[in-house]
């Protein structure tokens, strides 16, 4: 029993007049109470049977027809109200692509009024629409459902809009194709913003790399005349390293922006990945005590950049720890449908503004991070379909947990 049948049952009950047919409503309520069960589908099936029996016994043929007509009208009004207020374009076409429903969202998006759009082809030859939209009706007729397809559709003023659409076929009771429903949103501004960011990112990253290389060369020449361990030289070297790290973060952000969500996800052997990354941390920070607790096997799905996010968490646990021998513990846990990696340390803990970076989606003055590291971790985990939690560690510092689906 699907949700549509359940809505019909509810509508029929709602339209039965409580004054004229009080006994009918009481019998339906008794049927519900007597058939109460934990199995929702079974309950609805029983109620349908009871509903048919009660309507046949309690109502005349004419009254039954009135009740059914009222129920259909009730559901239709509810459907139309949802369609009209939806903030997206909703278009229904018949088998040859002729528009039969055009909501206010479609008028706002494409510029054609409802009266102009009804009766014309949603996608016509030579309109400039992309192949994805022109071929969609054939694919829907063949039984496909289309999800999140990016394409282009003409606007009333002659321009082409960048849109994303979802579509499903419509069929009659015999399974014959009777048309399709499209839901479309405007992604033009997002695509333009992404393009501007990509160009700016590449130009800045290229210039920063070149400038850093030039400065580093001159600094090396100057440092030759300075004693080893000169604080001024070390400070400048550290700043240059920070700029290189920022440039690298920008490169990873560009990769994250360009990749598709599902296409960029892969399955990781978490214990093996954690052990490799922890080994790299031990090699670069020899004074740190890094331990790993993990089961023999624990796979999880994450973005291709997840190892980069894990490196950020591991390095953060050591670099912000003033102890001469920082302690870092990495724990992998695996359940039936989720797996997690927790990086705990004995450092000073995450400041409030840094912790909020992991829980807020926008950077404000309250969530301004000291660097890009935690923001990159957040974005990569989100692109992985995972979750982030920050808490106090039993080692005395911070504990950041990344939860991923198996």
- Say what the pLDDT of residue 359 is: 61
* 387: pLDDT strictly greater than 80: yes
Label residue 175 by pLDDT band (50, 70, 90): confident
List the single range of 21-25, 94-98, 162-166 with lowest mean pLDDT.
21-25
pTM for this entry: 0.48
Span 211-238, average pLDDT: 81
Superfamily of domain 87-186, CATH level 4: PAS domain (3.30.450.20)
| Residue boundaries of the structural domains of the chain | 3-84, 87-186, 189-258, 264-406
Average pLDDT for 69-94: 68
**Which residue has better confidence, 280 or 10?**
280
Contact 343, 328 (CB under 8 A): yes
Burial class (CB in 10 A: 0-12, 13-18, 19+), 364: exposed
The strand pairing partners of 399, in sequence order, are 344, 391
pLDDT score at 213: 79
CA atoms within 13 A on the CB side of 378: 19
> According to DSSP H, which parts of 104-169 are helical?
104-110, 114-117, 131-134, 136-141
pLDDT of 316: 86
Question: Which helix H or strand E contains 257, and what residues bound it?
Answer: helix 231-258
Residues 108-163 have pLDDT tens digits of: 999 999 899 898 888 765 555 657 777 888 889 998 888 888 888 888 888 888 88
Q: pLDDT tens digit string along 189-211? A: 777 766 666 666 666 666 777 77
Q: What is the 3-state secondary structure (H, E, C) of 26-48?
A: HHHHHHHHHCCCCCHHHHHHHHH
Cα separation values, 150 from 89, 121, 129, 188, Å: 14, 20, 11, 10
121-125, 199-203, 315-319, 391-395: segment of lowest average pLDDT:
199-203
The secondary structure of residue 285, as a DSSP letter, is -
Residue bearing tokens 């409503």: 25
Across the range 214-243, mean pLDDT stands at 80
Q: Which two tokens stand for residue 211?
A: 């400038």
Q: Is the pLDDT of residue 373 over 50?
A: yes
For residue 343, pLDDT beyond 80:
yes
Query: What CA–CA distance (Å, rounded) separates 79 from 73?
Result: 10
Q: Which residue has the tokens 């929702």?
A: 40
Cβ atoms 347, 397 nearer than 8 A: yes
Mean pLDDT to the nearest integer, 4-29: 60
CATH code: domain 264-406 is 3.30.565.10
Model pLDDT for residues 293-303, shown as the tens digit of each residue? 999 889 998 88
Do residues 21 and 58 make contact, with C-beta atoms less than 8 angstroms apart?
A: yes
């Amino acid at each position: 029993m699907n949700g549509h049948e359940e809505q019909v049952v509810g509508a029929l009950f709602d339209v039965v007049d409580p004054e004229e047919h009080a006994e009918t409503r009481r019998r339906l309520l008794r049927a519900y109470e007597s058939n109460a069960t934990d199995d929702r589908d079974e309950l609805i099936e029983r109620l349908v049977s009871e509903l048919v029996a009660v309507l046949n016994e309690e109502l005349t043929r004419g009254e039954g027809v009135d009740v059914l007509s009222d129920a259909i009208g009730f559901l239709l009004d509810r459907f139309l109200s949802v369609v009209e207020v939806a903030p997206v374009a909703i278009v229904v076409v018949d088998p040859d692509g002729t528009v039969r429903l055009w909501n206010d969202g479609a008028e706002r998006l494409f510029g054609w009024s409802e009266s102009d759009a009804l009766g014309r082809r949603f996608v016509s030859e030579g309109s400039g629409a992309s192949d994805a939209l022109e071929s969609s009706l054939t694919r829907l007729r063949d039984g496909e459902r289309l999800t999140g397809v990016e394409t282009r559709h003409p606007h009333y003023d002659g321009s082409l809009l960048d849109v994303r659409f979802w579509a499903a076929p419509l069929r009659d009771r015999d399974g014959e194709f009777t048309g399709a429903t499209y839901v479309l949103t405007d992604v033009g501004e997002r695509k333009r913003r992404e393009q501007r960011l990509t160009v700016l990112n590449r130009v800045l990253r290229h210039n920063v790399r070149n400038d850093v290389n030039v400065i580093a060369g001159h600094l090396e020449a100057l440092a030759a005349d300075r004693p080893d361990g000169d604080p001024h030289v070390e400070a400048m070297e550290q700043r240059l390293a920070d700029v290189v790290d920022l440039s690298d973060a920008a490169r990873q952000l560009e990769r994250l922006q360009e990749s598709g969500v599902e296409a960029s996800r892969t399955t990781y052997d978490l214990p093996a990945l954690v052990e490799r990354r922890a080994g790299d941390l031990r090699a670069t920070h020899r004074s740190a005590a890094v331990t790993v607790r993990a089961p023999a096997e624990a796979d999880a799905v994450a973005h291709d950049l997840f190892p980069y996010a894990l490196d950020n968490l591991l390095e953060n646990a050591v670099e912000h720890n003033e102890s001469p021998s920082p302690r870092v513990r990495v724990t992998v846990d695996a359940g039936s449908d989720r797996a997690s990696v927790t990086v705990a340390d004995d450092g000073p803990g995450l400041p409030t503004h840094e912790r909020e970076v992991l829980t807020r989606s926008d950077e404000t003055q309250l969530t301004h991070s000291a660097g890009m590291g935690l923001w990159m971790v957040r974005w990569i985990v989100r692109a992985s379909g995972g979750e982030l939690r920050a808490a106090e560690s039993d080692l005395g510092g911070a504990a950041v947990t990344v939860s991923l689906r198996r």
